[in-house]
Amino acid sequence: MIIVTGANGFIGSAMIWELNQAGLDNIVAIDTVNLASRNLLQKRKYTQFFEGHELWSFLATEEARKNVTWMIHMGACSSTTETDWDFLYNNNFQYSQRLFEWCSQNQKNLIYASSAATYGAGENGFEDTYDSEKLKPLNLYGESKVIMDRWAVKQKSTPANWYSLKFFNVFGPNEYEKGSMASVAFKAYHQIQKNSELGLFKSYNPQFADGRQLRDFVYVKDVTAWMKELMDKKPESGIYNMGFGKARSWMDLAESLFAAMNKEVKINWLDMPENIKNQYQYFTQANMQKWVAAGLSEPKWPLEKAIGDYVKNYLDQKDPWL
């Protein structure tokens, strides 16, 4: 039995797709958003669905203690602009902490979502071997994630195997309900459809030309394949980056989208809002050496291939869900 939290969200629902592809359907799906309000699992196979607060009652049962093998914890508040620290602390730290402790007590395996936001401005690089105590996130969301990592590595009692995954710029099918937190790839597709042009922020750093700010874009299909690989191979427990490992520019993303949509490239350069200028990252790139050294797979979806798949097989379709 596999528990997936955030199952009715982007990466969680995509992970259930990945598990189903491997013939696994004894899945307990957990989310704070019920299926009547949103259903990203309409094509998926799973055995039970519980709302977030109901998970604790289920974990107290003999069924859970006996049958659960993996906890895949993707549920969290993912808003990088959230300002309610108490809410973030409860949802992103204390909830994760309780699941870690349950997995430790019952010797279950755990995967939980951290974030590249923990790296802050990247002044210390983007290495998953770097001491989390020294990281300085730029926002409260990043802070809520890094305190979990700091806590986890100090624990003497741990799950059988545990993995904290620092997701970089993940995009792909099933992110349709993320609203303002959806990827630029998703937003840009709809903007180009509507206006035949794309708005991108100007650069305010002389080292980067407009549109040449760099991000580590990673397709959700690589991310879910990697999580399944962790389950199969069980490398050394700890913190791992989840990025493609090669930074690409916003213009690379834009040109890939226009090409996939068979449209001429047309960019509208926008002034950056004052409230994000001081938090803006001009470069992110996951160091994937630890991952590769553990004998785990290289990514299979470079940006152009991923955008092509996303547009033609999902965004262009009337029924775009995984």
Task: Choose among 24, 64, 67: nearest CA to 44.
Answer: 24
The C-alpha atoms of residue 224 and residue 227 are separated, in whole angstroms, by: 5
The C-alpha atoms of residue 258 and residue 201 are separated, in whole angstroms, by: 17
Catalytic residue (choose from 141, 219, 240, 314): 141
| DSSP per-residue string spanning 252-300 | HHHHHHHHHTT----EEEEPPPHHHHTT--SB---B-HHHHHTTPPPPS
The C-alpha atoms of residue 77 and residue 87 are separated, in whole angstroms, by: 9
Q: Look up 277 and say whether it is catalytic.
A: no
Catalytic residue (choose from 45, 89, 130, 178): 178
Angstrom distances, CA of residue 17 to CA of 57, 181, 225, 259: 26, 21, 10, 28
Looking at residue 208, what DSSP letter applies? S
Q: Look up 112 and say whether it is catalytic.
A: no
The C-alpha atoms of residue 19 and residue 156 are separated, in whole angstroms, by: 30
State phi, psi for 224 to the nearest 5 degrees: -70, -35
Annotated catalytic residues are: 141, 178
